Structure 1
Amino acid sequence: MSKTDRILTHLPTFYRAGHRGKLIYEVVENLATPVIEADTSLFRIQRAHRLKVAENVQDVLRLAAALNLTPFHFEDITSNTKLPYDERLAQMRERIVRIARVHLAGLGTPAAIMEAAAIFLNARLVAGQPDAPVIRHIDRERYSHEALLQISGTPDNAKQRLALHENPLARRKWNARECRPMDHWPLENRGAEPASLIITITGVGERTVCPEIFSPVSGEGIVFNGIVPDGRTLRIDAYSGAYLNDVPVDAWIWHYQGAQQDFGAFDGAMLAQEEGSDIGLLSGDPDEAANGGARARPTPRLPVGLSEWYFNVSQGVFDGARFDGTVYHLPDDPIGIYDSDPVFDASVFELPPSAVVAGGWDERQRCAFKLMLPSTAGAADGAANPTNRIASILQRFKAAGIRAYVDTARPAWILGEGILRSADAKEGPGIASDSTTLRSTTDDLFVETEAVV
């Protein structure tokens, strides 16, 4: 029943006011028309101001502006013409509600960043196991976190891995330099914590005997209890161990921490050598040293800030060194000393190097995080590369002054029940099946820099 008819029902029946040919009907209808239009407009305005019942995309966008959201934050939904209009409205409403909840819970946390990424990937964070936390810490220091994304629109709502790494790593290095006994150089660690050094020592002539790298600042040093032949390279890494070219030599590595002569007060520190055994080329069987089950030794840790690092080799001293573990073939001409009175033409100012030394370290980046998106992110809504879009959106969810790196996880090797059927296959056996993926947990931690010292 129209409003006009409802009004006319209040008049006495003998008026027959409901008859459309009567003048009173026409008068009431003309009076009711603007009221009806105003009432309809008011109803639509009320709906436009309520997120759950707004019927127009533009009305939803205007409501989203209350959270400083712009059409850019919904372009992946509004541009997806494959979705029905009502479905697009529903996804836009849901996104606004979830973003509002993130704001209420608090921004600037790993949980807020990961939830924001899930929102703009049209996915949800889910737990890997029943009664397990949604976000799992994957390292002891709780720098790295991961969760599973259940992406809508993918077959069977497939789950993908989303990871966030706080204070990601950046590989810094110092270029190769010719080193002589007691040469030294500064290194600066601008990271958030001490970092283990990666050291390479290339032999020169017959002078690279028991090469040593140490720092008086940290009191740490490392010694190779052997000879690095001319042109061969010794690489020492706290993770993969020590190799002389391709031969493992972990048993010949000594790591120590303590005081060094001439660099500290007499009672300032005690020299404590970590490895007590004397296994190696100079005092044992080489085969035993190479194949005796030796483990990787720790390398000196670069302290935060500026520190000096020294290089040395074993030099012959009368009645104070082993005969077969010492360099005896050194220049016997006088050496020029700074701020002294040598005879200018009777001094050696350029000694042949004892080794070529290079190295680096993995530095924790302060005030930064790295978000690793799944490799299939954006496939459901047609977005080819969501990395740049997510990176620009995350600016509103992170704390001020924090650098955000966003990358996509690389494809991994597949083992398990997967069957290789055809390179052109799109579905069926071998394409969608339970499998195990092999992934390098350290590669995701790095960000690209060009830091060289």
Structure 2
Amino acid sequence: MSKTERILKRLPSFYKAWDRRSLLYSILSSIGKRLEEADKDLDAVLRSHWVDTAVGRDLDKLGALFNIERRPGEPDTRFRSRLKRAIQEFKGGGTVKAILTSIRALLEAPEEAPIRIVENPPREEVEEVHVRSGDTWVMSSRSVVDAYPAITLTVESPNSQVTNPTITNVDTGEEVRFNGVLRSGDELVVSNGRALLNGVDVTDKLSTTTIRLLRRTCRWSYSEVMREEMGVFDRARFDESIFAIDIPQVKVVFKWTSLTPAAFELHVPRELLRGEGDLEVLEATLSSIKAAGVKAEVKVV
């Protein structure tokens, strides 16, 4: 029943509003048509706000709310399907499942596509210090777990040698000591439970084969056995010590694999990237999904 008919039914019959030739009917008919047009406009507004019914620019605007753009030549049906899947990212709150759902929608990839997330991705770390006996420095594993680094010692000073070089975690008291002599140019590598001096196994001369590198920042020190009672500033008696200028300098290099905190990698097969701008769109989408303060990186595999 039209709006005009509903209005006419509410009027007394003696008004003869039902007479299509009457002035009253013409007025009520115009009002009825305007009300019907208003209903249609309202319905169009409602439909434009629903993913299932929005079309054209209205659908594009809904996509913009979720940072999803229509691809060149992409029809409404395909864009709508991709957008509906992408909305899951906002319902999931940046979880692994939500991120993967969004990325698959963006790339139009099937559920079985080998897209995966690597949390706390491994990263090769190197810490290099140049020290003399008594020097200290601070260091941590820069990881979500403790690490057991490979350690390399090299005497840098020419025509020098060091005896029983020792690396100590001052905060925990743990130390690794080589019971022997290192000369200029020698390289001592402590790794995987072994010690190699210029390629020769000298594991039996180590006090221990491993030392922990803690997650928290700790103070470390390097020391060696001196042939004389060497003085250390602010810690030795002046008249009982020999203050040597040419104390050998040693390079100490720590190498380990860290599990990067507050970070993840998204691994995407190369064949899923169709256009030149796909990678940039993917990175922008990932940035909008991830939690604040979390580092995210896309790797094409």
| TM-score over 0.5 (shorter chain) | yes
- Measured after TM superposition, the shift of residue 92 of structure 1 is 2.2
Alignment map for 1:306-325 (pairs within 5 Å): 306-313=218-225
- Residue 215 of structure 1: which of 161, 165, 169 is its match? 169
Provide the secondary structure at the position in 1 that maps to 2:211: coil
Identical pairs, percent: 14
Alignment map for 1:118-129 (pairs within 5 Å): 118-123=100-105
Cα 1:248/1:43, change in 2 over 3 Å: farther
Q: Which residue of 1 aligns with 2:12?
A: none
1:404 aligns with 2:294: yes
Provide the secondary structure at the position in 2 that maps to 1:304: coil
- Measured after TM superposition, the shift of residue 225 of structure 1 is 5.1
- Measured after TM superposition, the shift of residue 393 of structure 1 is 0.6
Contact kept in structure 1, 2:90 and 2:98, CA below 8 Å:
no
Q: Distance in 2 between matches of 1:31 and 1:337?
A: 101
1:87 aligns with 2:64: no
Q: Which residue of 2 aligns with 1:147?
A: none
**What RMSD over aligned residues (CA atoms) do the two structures have, in Å?**
4.4
Provide the secondary structure at the position in 2 that maps to 1:217: coil
The answer for unaligned runs of 5 or more in structure 2 is: 10-17
Contact kept in structure 2, 1:194 and 1:302, CA below 8 Å:
yes
Contact kept in structure 2, 1:220 and 1:255, CA below 8 Å:
no
Cα 1:390/1:49, change in 2 over 3 Å: closer
Q: Distance in 1 between matches of 2:173 and 2:77?
A: 68
Provide the secondary structure at the position in 2 that maps to 1:195: coil
Could you tell me which amino acid in structure 1 is paired with residue 100 of structure 2?
A: A
Alignment map for 1:24-173 (pairs within 5 Å): 27=26, 32-58=32-58, 61=61, 70-71=64-65, 73-75=67-69, 78=70, 80-96=71-87, 98-102=88-92, 107=93, 112-123=94-105, 152-153=108-109, 159-166=113-120, 171=125, 173=127
Alignment map for 1:282-293 (pairs within 5 Å): none
Could you tell me which amino acid in structure 1 is paired with residue 153 of structure 2?
A: I
Per-residue deviation, residues 43-76 of structure 1 (Å, max 9, x unmatched): 32332344432335426735x7xxxxx457012x
Could you tell me which amino acid in structure 2 is paired with residue 237 of structure 1?
A: S
- Measured after TM superposition, the shift of residue 216 of structure 1 is 4.5
Provide the secondary structure at the position in 2 that maps to 1:93: helix
- Measured after TM superposition, the shift of residue 201 of structure 1 is 0.9
Could you tell me which amino acid in structure 2 is paired with residue 87 of structure 1?
A: R
Q: Which residue of 1 aligns with 2:186?
A: 232
Q: Which residue of 2 aligns with 1:374?
A: 268
Q: Distance in 2 between matches of 1:4 and 1:363?
A: 72
Please, what TM-score do these two structures have when normalized by structure 1? 0.49
Provide the secondary structure at the position in 1 that maps to 2:206: strand
Q: Which residue of 1 aligns with 2:211?
A: 299
1:392 aligns with 2:282: no
- Measured after TM superposition, the shift of residue 363 of structure 1 is 5.7
Per-residue deviation, residues 360-390 of structure 1 (Å, max 9, x unmatched): 5556665x22233325386146513346414
Per-residue deviation, residues 259-280 of structure 1 (Å, max 9, x unmatched): xxxxxxxxxxxxxxxxxxxxxx
1:185 aligns with 2:175: no
Q: Distance in 2 between matches of 1:45 and 1:406?
A: 38
Please, what TM-score do these two structures have when normalized by structure 2? 0.69
Q: Distance in 2 between matches of 1:84 and 1:59?
A: 11
Provide the secondary structure at the position in 2 that maps to 1:342: helix
Per-residue deviation, residues 173-195 of structure 1 (Å, max 9, x unmatched): 13233x34xx2313232855543
Contact kept in structure 2, 1:377 and 1:386, CA below 8 Å:
no
Q: Which residue of 2 aligns with 1:342?
A: 239
**Structure 1 or 2: larger helix share?**
2
- Measured after TM superposition, the shift of residue 29 of structure 1 is 6.2
Alignment map for 1:188-207 (pairs within 5 Å): 188-189=139-140, 191=142, 193-203=145-155, 205=159, 207=161
Provide the secondary structure at the position in 2 that maps to 1:171: strand
Q: Distance in 1 between matches of 2:231 and 2:164?
A: 26
- Measured after TM superposition, the shift of residue 84 of structure 1 is 1.3
Contact kept in structure 1, 2:154 and 2:250, CA below 8 Å:
yes
Per-residue deviation, residues 197-249 of structure 1 (Å, max 9, x unmatched): 4321114657345533233432322234555453132222348x54445x363
Could you tell me which amino acid in structure 1 is paired with residue 224 of structure 2?
A: N
The answer for unaligned runs of 5 or more in structure 1 is: 11-16, 65-69, 125-150, 257-296, 316-329, 412-453
Q: Distance in 1 between matches of 2:95 and 2:255?
A: 31
Contact kept in structure 1, 2:4 and 2:33, CA below 8 Å:
no
